[in-house]
Amino acid sequence: MTCARQLLLTVAFAGSTALACKPGVGQAPSLITDYTLLAVRGEPAEAKPGDSVVYSFLLASPSGTVPDATAGWDVCETPKPPAENNSVASACNPPTPGSTTGQTFAAPVPTKACMLFGPIAPPVAAGQPAVRPRDPDSTGGYYLPVRVKFPDLPTGSLTGFAFERITCNLANAATSIVGEYNKQYQPNNDPGIASTDLITADGSRLSLDSGPPTIAPGETVIFEAAFAQGSAETFPVLAPSGDALVNQTESLHMSWFATSGSFVHDRTGVAATETAISTGNTWKAPDSAAVVYLWLVLRDSRGGTAFKSYAIQVTP
């Protein structure tokens, strides 16, 4: 079957959501049976207007990570009209393959990004009503849509959107609070996956980072992924009252994907109030011999992303 698919890679506690050509009824989102865009990462994870960002992607397939795929890239500079229900404006998804093609993409954040997608109200056009500036998310953030398109995959075309966090001035706050906020606030850094272990039923621990482990068909194991130090950052946000700053710590969310077998959870994570330094998931191997490919995608609540891929040998 050949079809066009569109994915939305959202920030904070969201994986990729298929908008068309969805998996079969009852298929877990963690099961990879087709070419699937799992993540787009911006480095740095947050940038000021005018600063350059380098984007990269994680493209999975039933045969593992696709190492040689190239994509068409575009930075969207069209705000979503109030009448549209999608997360990005329809004008951000033209039929062209993209303005730049490659495995990575470097582009500056538009100088007007905080006006297009942030708290600065754009100029009022003649004869048109004033446009209300954007509201921040729960972390005080604003985001720039970035489009990535794979037009010629063996199973059809695939388009996805990711969101780069942009640094904008604090809105609707007293001058003294804005000054204090500017002193305290540090732009978001991408989180990291330090290591991943496989734990067998007898408690044996195998490092996935040391090479593909071998397990038996139908065996149930636990994957445990450790976060890199500093992955959950603390930052100030404007209190709901608008007259004070409060500190908030990032939550961390892991999405799990594999080409076979089954996870107990598609997603796991650590809330902002927790101090855990790792997250785990239980996985049951397929009942027959296979090489299973595994992907982990870690996101923080300010839009940062990290990912790793592994292979597991299932042998009788």
Instruction: Kindly report the backbone phi and psi dihedral angles of residue 78, in degrees, each rounded to the nearest multiple of 5, phi listed first.
Output: -115, 115
Predicted local distance difference test score (pLDDT) of residue 20:
31
Do 157 and 269 touch, CB atoms closer than 8 A? no
Predicted local distance difference test score (pLDDT) of residue 55:
96
How many Å apart are CA 238 and CA 138, to the nearest integer? 10
How many Å apart are CA 108 and CA 47, to the nearest integer? 9
Predicted local distance difference test score (pLDDT) of residue 47:
98
Predicted local distance difference test score (pLDDT) of residue 297:
98
- Give me the tens of pLDDT residue by residue for the chain, a chain 316 residues long: 333 444 545 433 333 333 333 444 568 999 999 999 999 999 999 999 999 999 999 999 999 999 888 899 999 998 887 777 778 888 887 766 566 788 999 999 999 999 999 999 877 777 766 777 888 999 999 999 999 999 889 988 899 999 999 999 998 899 999 999 999 999 999 999 999 999 999 999 999 999 999 999 999 999 999 999 999 999 999 999 889 999 999 999 999 999 999 999 999 999 999 999 999 999 999 999 999 999 999 999 999 999 999 999 999 9
Q: What number does CATH give the domain 193-314?
A: 2.70.50.30
Predicted local distance difference test score (pLDDT) of residue 13:
30
- The CATH-assigned architecture of domain 5-177 is Sandwich (2.60)
pTM of the model: 0.89
Domain boundaries defined on the chain: 5-177, 193-314
How many Å apart are CA 205 and CA 203, to the nearest integer? 6
CB neighbours of 180 closer than 8 A, spacing ≥ 6?
A: 236, 245
